[in-house]
A and B are shown apart, each in its own frame.
Chain A
């Protein structure tokens, strides 16, 4: 069975010192409280790269990084985006039990401007990444 990339990468980011330091939530949906910065994690696509064996699966992920601040939140949204990028660059096999991650592409953070669907509007940046996950032998 292929990896649940959202759960694995979400757990890793949730416990990463950079995001813990920013008190940022990491979630796959809108958090219940908007008083801390948050990262919404989406999986855009996944595909087998190992000739129909599901041994090497590529996951295309999007990280929407929101500021908690209604005014002047662009700096915070950018900082959260850069922290997510740095965390993805630092990932090691020890961070994803049972799987070997290879981050082969990271783009962003890209400024998406304020999300006006929130009141007040929250600044948002986007990071996207392609991560290969293959099972550690024996798992």
Chain B
């Protein structure tokens, strides 16, 4: 029997671009992930080289919602400078992990 179901291949991008979906994701990120990222950044003594304003910010672009560390020294905090007794505090990766989320393979 012929099927009348026509798969909408654009569903996922359309859904992800929906403003209400974005707003929901942003609210979840701000409620559950950002506090954990900030706690790690504070514990590490960030910002090391402040850019001004709050170092940890939430931004949106065409691809989705992002947590951004605007500290000029963010890279040092994230991966560490081991030989200078600055271990990786990984506020972004650690905060995502602490929130129970999974980092994706690239």
Contacts and interface: CB of A to CB of B under 8 A. Distances in A.
Interface string B94-105: 100110101111
Interface string A123-139: 00010101000000000
Interface residues on B, range: 10 to 19
Interface in B74-106: 79-84, 87-88, 90, 93-94, 97-98, 100, 102-106
Contacts, number: 57
A115 interface: yes
A64 B94 contact: no
B106 A107 contact: yes
B35 to A, nearest CB: 15
Contacts of B106: 107
A118 B84 CA distance: 9
Interface stretch (A1-9, A40-48, A90-98): A40-48
Given A44-B88, A107-B103, A118 B97 contact: no
Given A105-B102, A130-B102, A130-B103, A44 B82 contact: no
Interface in A105-131: 105-107, 112, 115, 117-118, 126, 128, 130
Given A104-B102, A130-B103, A115 B83 contact: yes
Contact of A126 (B79, B83, B105): B79
B88 A58 contact: no
A128 B80 CA distance: 13
B102 A64 contact: no
Contacts of A130: 97, 102-103
Given A62-B80, A64-B80, 14 more contacts: A42-B82, A47-B100, A60-B97, A64-B79, A104-B102, A105-B103, A105-B104, A105-B105, A106-B105, A107-B105, A112-B79, A117-B83, A117-B84, A128-B103
Interface of A: 30, 40, 42, 44-45, 47, 49, 58, 60, 62, 64, 104-107, 112, 115, 117-118, 126, 128, 130
12 contacts: A30-B83, A44-B94, A45-B93, A47-B97, A47-B100, A60-B93, A60-B103, A62-B90, A107-B105, A112-B79, A115-B82, A117-B81
